[in-house]
Amino acid sequence: MEIASIPGLSFRLLSSADVDSALAIHESAAGRLTNDIVRRDSREDIQKQIDDGFVVGAISGEGVLAAYAVLSVLREETDDLSTVLDLDDRERSRFCVLDGVAVLPEWQRKGVHELLIRERLCYARDLGRDLIGVTVSPRNTRSLQNLLSSGFRIARGAMLYGGFERLILVRDMRWMPLPFVGVQSAIADNFKQSLDAIRKGLFGFSLTWNDHGEAVIQYGREQQPG
């Protein structure tokens, strides 16, 4: 279900004055998570992301930064993922990446992450970037489900960021997503099962939970019209 808005929350691009607030949110949100789930960013990392110009902040009614999310557009920031996805030069000119995101604990589970996905897609479209990539740990099931619900599809799996398992999702905003026909499933925590489905040319399109409480990714193919 699409979330239209959250009362008391607005969005704007961050400036250098927001670096310390963004770092505090990052440390608060990532502090309870292991490195294989969330990549740690330094103050310098966040400063550079803001200086590049496309970090979206969610601002509470009291004017406090409640969350932020990065949109990476520069070629130097997107080349590695472009290579993993085997994009050609024309596709690379359309490509950008949804990068790090952090939400204060008191604002989590309220739809903020979904709205930050939507806001960054709007910025990307305004910049002429309509091919969007994003990486996510297969164990970060909350982010994975939000991305799949936002029209992203799992297209690759790779070891990234120093050897951590990552699923790579893509959305081409030129096309409306077609319905998918499920072919096989993979336990999210079993990376080999996802790689097996991806090698068969299947795309991950939904995430559910089985009777054992395990997150399960459904892989399949687009249902062609007619």
Domain ranges (residues) in the chain: 9-177, 178-226
- Average pLDDT of the chain to the nearest whole number: 91
- Do the beta carbons of residue 116 and residue 134 sit within 8 Å? no
What would you report as the CA-atom Rg of the chain, rounded to the nearest whole angstrom? Answer: 17
Cβ partners under 8 Å of residue 105, min gap 6: 28, 29
What separation in angstroms does the CA of 124 have from each of 94, 98, 210, 222?
A: 9, 9, 35, 25
49: pLDDT strictly greater than 50 = yes
Query: pTM score, two decimals?
Result: 0.91
**How many other CB atoms are there within 10 angstroms of residue 222's CB atom?**
14
Planar angle of CA 42, 137, 33, nearest 5 degrees: 55
Q: What is the pLDDT of residues 79-95, one digit of tens each?
A: 999 999 999 999 999 99
Q: What is the pLDDT of residues 139-182, one digit of tens each?
A: 999 999 999 999 999 999 999 988 999 999 999 999 887 789 98
- Do the beta carbons of residue 113 and residue 146 sit within 8 Å? yes
Question: In whole angstroms, what is the distance from residue 207 CA to residue 16 CA?
Answer: 37
What tokens does 188 get?
């999210």
Q: What is the pLDDT of residue 226?
A: 60
Fold observed for domain 9-177? Aminopeptidase (3.40.630)
DSSP 59-101: EETTS-EEEEEEEE-SHHHHHHHHHHTT--HHHHHHEEEEEEE
